[in-house]
Structures are given as structure tokens and as C-alpha cells.
Structure 1
Amino acid sequence: MAEALEVPPALARAVDRYIRHVALERGRSPHTVSAYRRDLDRYLAHLASRGVTEPSAIAEADVAAFVSAVRDPEVAAAAGVAPVAASSAARMLSSVRGWHSFLVEEGLAARNVAAEQKPPKQPRRLPKAITVNEVERLLDACAGDDPIMLRDRALLELLYATGARVSEAVGLSVDDVTGDDGGAAEMVRLFGKGRKQRLVPIGRFAREALDAYLVRSRPLLAPRGASTPALFLGARGQALSRQSAWLVIRGAAERAQLDVELSPHTLRHSFATHLLEGGADVRVVQELLGHASVATTQIYTLVTADAMREAWALAHPRAR
């Protein structure tokens, strides 16, 4: 492994200022802030290797070389790091662009030298959804009256009923899902990226699962740990983490014997796909998912179009 170069103090201070800015003034989540920090630490190491010591001395060629370096296996190996996928390189470039924009705003650089740098092309990756039958099998795999199974059923019902991200679900407090009578409310308040709030209906199945969890499970789990308003609790009474929630989904899939590839977003993808297949307007689905742009939501219309073409090819007498 190549010996790590010391990052010039001026560059390190500029990144520290930016990290404080995105965390405090822009309200980015700790997860997002950590991702910015990792990306920019790698960028600073790259700049140090090129002899750059001041923010004002960074050139377009330095940015372009960084994007190439993180993708090139030989260059990455020489630096003692692994090359990254096109999607990761694009995310890194986004972090770098944000920092350079901040440098200009703060008067630490005359212009944004990363503004014109193009991210590497990425293959179109359509979101993968499971069928309604597979969703039902996944949910049925959480049948049972013990506290953990009641919690798992409530979590999965909520994820599929609302299209919530796993991070949004584990970030819920009890007050976000309970009505005036103490039972599950008709709507759930979700907090998306940048703490943007949206209200999403949850439906009868999710309400019943949440009621069962709130009445028969959470009161048993809560005394095991420190007091927390978090809705979903772990076996020791602590707030359920994203990683633990993902293990819940994987465990249910194994018990259901689903022979499909799952991701933490599987139920979210299925929520959107099934709504559009059922005739929901794409802009309504956009609001329910919390997408800033309808273009992001329209990816799901490609999924349903592919499904229609496949069904036609299999069933139509003149398809082949």
C-alpha cells in the first residue's frame, strides 16, 4: 500500500468548514454528512498527491484526474485503494462539486473548477420490485404473537403501505403514527431527505399491525432499554437501526423462501410499481415517495412498461 501523504492544512480546514456547513446550515443527515466526509477525504488525498496545497490552486485537470483515478484499477491500486463503480464515482463528483461551489461562495476560490466535469456514464438500472404475491408471502413470514414478530410485521406492513425508505421508518417516533385515541392514525408523518416532511396514508392492514405492535409488543420491549420515543425498538429496548431493519427484511425473505434478490428498497420499489400498475398518477406517486423530481419517479413507469411488453410477448398469438 502506498504511503499516505499528509493533507495540506489549508485544504483540510476548507473541508472542515464545508462539513460543518452541510451539517448545521443545510441540515443534512449524519449519514449524508459522513458520505461527504469520506468522498472529500479521498479527494484531498488525491490533491495532496498532485502537490496542491491551497483551494485556490486547484485546477480543472485535478478534478478530471480524480474522476479517472477512482475508476482506474491500476491508479487506485497504486494509491492503496479500491476502484469504484460508475455510480460511486458520480456520487464522489457530486460531493466534490458541492465543496467547490462552497469555496467560491466563501471567497476561497475564484471559480468552481468542478462545474464542467461530467460524471462517468452509468448503465440504466431499473428498480427491482417483487410481485404482490411475494409481498404477501414476505408479510406472512412475520406471523406470530411474540414481541419481535409483532414488531417485524408492523415494520414490513408500514414499509409496503407507505413506500417509506428504511431510514425513514426507523426514524419514526410513536407520535408520528398514533392518532388522538392512541391507536394507529390514518396517516403517517415521514421525514425524507433534508428533513422534508410528507404525510402518507397507511391503510387498514398497516394500521392493524401497528396497533398490535403498540399495544402488545412495544410496552414489553421499551422497559429493556433507556427511554426513547422511537417507534420501532430492538430486542434490548433501543431504537431499531437501519442495519437491524434490513436484517428483519432478509430474515422474513428467508423464511418465506423467496427466490428473488432483495435490497433495503425492495418494498419501496414494490409500493411504487404496484401503485402505477393499479392506475395511480405518476405525480401522486412522486409525492408519496418524496421525490423532488417527477423524473425520478418516472423510472418506475419504465418498469411497468417492460412488464407489459413481456406479458404481451408471452401471451399474444402474433408475438412470435
Structure 2
Amino acid sequence: MNHLTLPASPLPALVAATGERAQVRFIEFFTAQIRNPNTRRAYARAAGEFMAWCEDNGLRSLAEVQPVHVAAYVELLGRERSAPTVKQRLAAIRHLFDWLVVGQVIPVNPAASVRGPRHVVKKGKTAVLAPDEARHLLDSIDASTPIGLRDRALIGLMAYSFARVGAALAMKVEDVYVQNRRLWVRLHEKGGKRHEMPCHHNLETYLHAYLDGCGLAADPKGPLFRTLGRVTGELTRTPLPQANAYAMIRRRAAAAEIETKIGNHTFRATGITAYLKNGGTLERAAAMANHASTRTTQLYDRRRDELTLDEVERILI
């Protein structure tokens, strides 16, 4: 169970004081109900901080938590945190108490009637590169070394297939395969969804060079993107962590003299924007990015940024 992220032991005093059934149900919420490790980690933090606040304000069991307590906590949180963070914390609290109600630990959900702050998002915050900047970044990578081949293939995969960094880093070598004489990639997305896409010809070149140059084809069950051995300078069999991927991207951007503060998600947004600018449709982009709704895809569409810049230049002073 060391891979699970749970609230710090011992359990919150409110949970412990409510009885054994509450303790079991509380642990089950994080182990059986939530499968995504990132969601589990965020919900555990939200629940732990809320329980601690309740204890500091004199509450001694889960049965004593009322809507007024949740509302007061949300109000206080809103003075210190952004609206999206407050909404996420409230969602975590609401889902946890729903689980406790279903398990007959408490009769009603005290968070059910509490409203979070209003927050409307029409444009994502992810930094996006212009196509020529992305091209420059890819071309600036020295592909004569294993790490260069790996980095170019990873960045290319995210840009040309709209892959999330988590899905890309979860790939195995066998998830790159040939079908109908074309290279395809198999991405394992959120919720256990499997998403398959044919490769752009540039991405096909990058992946072939990476697989052949590093001899990965002989290890189909091994991770596709791997760490580099400090002593040997060769790829190991350890999957590349997401934090390492971010550090690599920042390092590559600095070397290419790109001043935009980019991150792992930049290339997903860059690829989607480039596709739409060249006549692609929002519906097809959503399917390629494996988005359930085009509303999500619209957050990655930065074509309006260029229109705004053009209009700004009309201010002749």
C-alpha cells in the first residue's frame, strides 16, 4: 500500500471519534473509490486540511459537522486561495461526505447545499508556442545522443498527438506499433481509456530514430521513456518521472533561447492550436485529444491571441 497517498497517520480526530465504521469508510474512500493517484493526493490534502480546521474550531466528530461549518471554511479559504482551488477543495469535501452518507456513517451530507465561488473559464492558462518556436525547439535538440533522441521523441509525441504528459510517460515500447504501413501510438488516458492515433510523419521519424538508436525494440514490455544512468550515460529501465520531464523541457527551452515559460502541457496546447489554425475542426481536435467535450478543447485554442495582438498594433500613438 506504499503507493497510495492517504491522510497522515493517525486518522483525523473527527474520523477516529466517530467510530470504527467511519474509520474504515474513510480509508475506503481513498483506496477503493478514487483510482487516479493525482486526484487521490489532492482529495487527501483537502480532507485533511478541512478536518484539521474543524478540530481547531471545536468539532469533535463527523456528526457535528453542519452546512454552516463547511460554508465558513469555504469563505475563509476563498480569502487565501484562487477560485479553482476552492472549488476543488469543496468538491473533495462533498464527495467524501457523500461516501460517508452512502456508508451510513452520517445521515446527511453537510457540504451538499454549500455553493462554491463562481468561476468561468473561457481560455486556458497554459503557455503556447508559435509553430516556428516549436519547430526551432525540436531542431535545437542534439539527436546524436540517447538523451537527445528521447527528449525529441517525447516533445514530438506531445505536440503531434496532443498527448498528456502522464499518458506519454505511461507508454510502453509496445505502445508504438505499425498498422496499415504507418506508425501508430497507443495512449492510456484518464479513467482507463485507451486512445490510439496514427503518427504525423515528423513524429514517425522521431520515434523510429529513438527506438532504433537506443535499441528499445527488444524490450516491448519496458517503459518507452526512461531515465538516464548518470554513470553509463545510457537509458535505464526506470520510467521517466513527470517532474524530470518538466525539468527537461525547461532545460531544452533555455538552451533554445525560448523565453516563454513553458511546461509539460505546452505542447498539447501548441499542437491543438497549430492544427486548428491550419483548417482543422474543433470536433476533430477534441477526438484527437480524447476530450469528452469540445468545451475542453476550446481552452487549448489560442488563435484569438494573434487577433488581439493585431488589434493592439492599431493603437497608433
TM-score in same-fold range (> 0.5): yes
Q: Which letter maps to 1:248?
A: M
Change over 3 Å in CA distance of 1:166–1:45 after alignment to 2: same
Q: 1:60 aligns with which of 60, 64, 67?
A: 67
Change over 3 Å in CA distance of 1:219–1:147 after alignment to 2: same
2 CA distance for matches of 1:62 and 1:241? 39
Partner of 2:222: 229
- Structure 1 position 294, deviation (Å): 2.1
Q: Which letter maps to 1:165?
A: R
Change over 3 Å in CA distance of 1:219–1:290 after alignment to 2: closer
1 CA distance for matches of 2:271 and 2:75? 37
| Alignment of 1:293 onto 2:293 | yes
Change over 3 Å in CA distance of 1:53–1:13 after alignment to 2: farther
1 CA distance for matches of 2:37 and 2:201? 33
Aligned positions of 1:254-269 closer than 5 A: 254-269=254-269
1 CA distance for matches of 2:184 and 2:87? 36
| Mapped contact 1:228–1:239 kept (Cα < 8 A) | no
Change over 3 Å in CA distance of 1:31–1:5 after alignment to 2: closer
Question: TM-score if structure 1 supplies the norm length?
Answer: 0.82
- Structure 1 position 221, deviation (Å): 12
Q: Deviations over 1:299-320 (max 9, x none)?
A: 344x3234224335547xx999
- Structure 1 position 120, deviation (Å): 2.5
| Alignment of 1:22 onto 2:6 | no
| Mapped contact 2:174–2:221 kept (Cα < 8 A) | no
Partner of 1:239: 239
Q: 2:38 aligns with which of 22, 31, 35?
A: 31
2 CA distance for matches of 1:220 and 1:149? 18
2 CA distance for matches of 1:174 and 1:246? 21
Aligned positions of 1:265-276 closer than 5 A: 265-276=265-276
| Mapped contact 2:165–2:242 kept (Cα < 8 A) | yes
2 CA distance for matches of 1:126 and 1:294? 13
Of 111-120 and 35-44, deviating more is 111-120
Q: Deviations over 1:199-219 (max 9, x none)?
A: 223211111111111111254
Q: Which letter maps to 1:56?
A: A
Aligned positions of 1:212-227 closer than 5 A: 212-219=209-216
Change over 3 Å in CA distance of 1:115–1:218 after alignment to 2: farther
2 CA distance for matches of 1:292 and 1:53? 42
The alignment covers a number of residue pairs equal to 294
| Mapped contact 1:70–1:84 kept (Cα < 8 A) | yes
1 CA distance for matches of 2:149 and 2:200? 17
Three-state SS of the structure 2 residue aligned to 1:119 is: coil
2 CA distance for matches of 1:251 and 1:221? 30
Q: Which letter maps to 2:177?
A: T
| Alignment of 1:104 onto 2:101 | yes
2 CA distance for matches of 1:29 and 1:133? 35
Change over 3 Å in CA distance of 1:134–1:41 after alignment to 2: same
Change over 3 Å in CA distance of 1:205–1:19 after alignment to 2: same
Q: Which letter maps to 2:32?
A: H
Three-state SS of the structure 1 residue aligned to 2:177 is: coil
Query: What is the identity percentage for the equivalent residue pairs of Structure 1 and Structure 2?
Result: 26
Partner of 1:7: 13
Q: Deviations over 1:100-121 (max 9, x none)?
A: 2212222223333222322224
| Mapped contact 1:277–1:304 kept (Cα < 8 A) | yes
- Structure 1 position 17, deviation (Å): 2.1
Partner of 1:77: none
Of 172-181 and 141-150, deviating more is 172-181
Partner of 1:279: 279
1 CA distance for matches of 2:63 and 2:215? 55
Q: Deviations over 1:195-252 (max 9, x none)?
A: 2221223211111111111111254998xxxx96110111131111101111121111
Of 34-43 and 288-297, deviating more is 288-297
Partner of 1:76: none
| Mapped contact 1:89–1:119 kept (Cα < 8 A) | yes
| Mapped contact 1:130–1:270 kept (Cα < 8 A) | yes
2 CA distance for matches of 1:305 and 1:283? 18
2 CA distance for matches of 1:147 and 1:32? 33
